[in-house]
């Protein structure tokens, strides 16, 4: 039986999540995070997408992207995860799957939902108890948003301090990281 096709319309942003197989770690050192970021950049040169935000966690990855053409979402994710899996297995002397099943993808159909999704992505390390402030996590697009020309969304660029305040506000769902 074949899998159902994913909704993949260009022009909509998507929230993507890729998890390590059996929820195991994907990143063991800074070089691993750097390589994954490099593979995202390489894939974007071959398959044009707009990256809106990301957060690389120890055992999973959140990415918000907007494909420009039909099919680019799957091709981009496949390229990034394949390149990283090859690097990971070669580096750590492993074989087999690195990522758990199919990646999660959800279209963000309403424009007003995009800020909520981006805040969820960028506050992930704070919610997991890995940092005291979300911008302290080195492997998130949040650290780059305050840099010149990096806030891709006007409402974030317009009031970056308010964006940080909203992300760092305590929420009842925050709990210590337990390998999510």
| Residue 53 forms part of a structural domain | yes
pLDDT, tens digit, 9 for 90 and up, residues 36-51: 999 999 999 999 898 9
Domain that holds residue 30: 14-168
Task: Kindly report which listed range (23-27, 58-62, 73-77, 164-168) carries the lowest average pLDDT score.
Answer: 164-168
Does residue 77 have a pLDDT over 60?
yes
Domain total in the chain: 1
Tell me whether strands 49-56 and 60-67 are parallel, antiparallel or unpaired.
Answer: antiparallel
| Residue 176 forms part of a structural domain | no
| Residue 48 forms part of a structural domain | yes
Q: Where are the beta strands (DSSP E) in the chain?
A: 14-19, 49-56, 60-67, 104-107
| Residue 131 forms part of a structural domain | yes
User: What local confidence, expressed as pLDDT, does residue 100 receive?
Assistant: 94
- The answer to whether 41 touches 75, Cβ cutoff 8 Å, is no
| Residue 106 forms part of a structural domain | yes
Q: What is the CATH number of the domain that holds 32?
A: 3.30.70.1290
- The answer to whether 79 touches 43, Cβ cutoff 8 Å, is yes
């Amino acid at each position: 039986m074949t899998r159902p096709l994913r909704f993949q319309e260009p022009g909509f942003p998507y929230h993507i999540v890729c998890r390590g197989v059996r929820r195991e770690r994907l990143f063991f050192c800074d070089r691993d995070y750097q390589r994954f970021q490099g593979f995202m950049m390489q894939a974007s040169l071959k398959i044009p997408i707009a990256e809106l935000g990301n957060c690389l966690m120890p055992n999973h990855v959140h990415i918000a992207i907007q494909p420009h053409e039909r099919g680019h979402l799957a091709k981009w994710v496949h390229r990034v995860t394949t390149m990283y899996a090859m690097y990971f297995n070669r580096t750590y002397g492993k074989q087999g799957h690195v990522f758990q099943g199919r990646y999660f993808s959800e279209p963000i159909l309403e424009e007003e939902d995009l800020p909520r999704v981006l805040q969820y992505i960028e506050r992930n390390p704070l919610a997991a108890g890995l940092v005291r402030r979300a911008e302290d996590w080195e492997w998130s697009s949040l650290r780059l948003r305050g840099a010149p020309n990096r806030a891709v969304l006007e409402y974030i660029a317009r009031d970056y301090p308010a964006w940080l305040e909203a992300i760092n506000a305590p929420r009842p769902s925050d709990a210590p990281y337990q390998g999510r």
